[in-house]
Amino acid sequence: MSDDQKAVCNPTAEEDDGEMVDPLQKLRDNCAAKASCAALSEKLNSCNDRVNSKSATTETCLEELIDYMHCVDHCASHKLFKLLK
């Protein structure tokens, strides 16, 4: 196991300032960087830009947000439950 994996997998890991690190957040960050989730993140960002550029619209980015969060959570869940005691 690499040092990065140990840091992510250690639920009692601490950051440099001494605060506890949430292993789920680290897993989500790692998963968000993967190509499949990064593509969904780009779709979400372009939707947000499109919606924010209009003054009056009924469009929302709910579908894009759900797809992105599903990808990230699905990826993180495979590793997260191995960390639970």
pLDDT in the model for residue 10? 52
Which run of H or E residues covers position 40? Answer: helix 35-52
pLDDT in the model for residue 13? 53
pLDDT in the model for residue 15? 56
The pTM assigned to this predicted structure is 0.72
CA distance 38 to 14: 27
Q: Which residue has the tokens 């989730």?
A: 37
CA distance 26 to 76: 9
Residues of the chain with pLDDT under 70: 1-17, 85
CA distance 63 to 44: 9
CA separation, residue 80 to residues 3, 36, 37, 58 (Å)? 17, 19, 17, 37
CA distance 41 to 6: 27
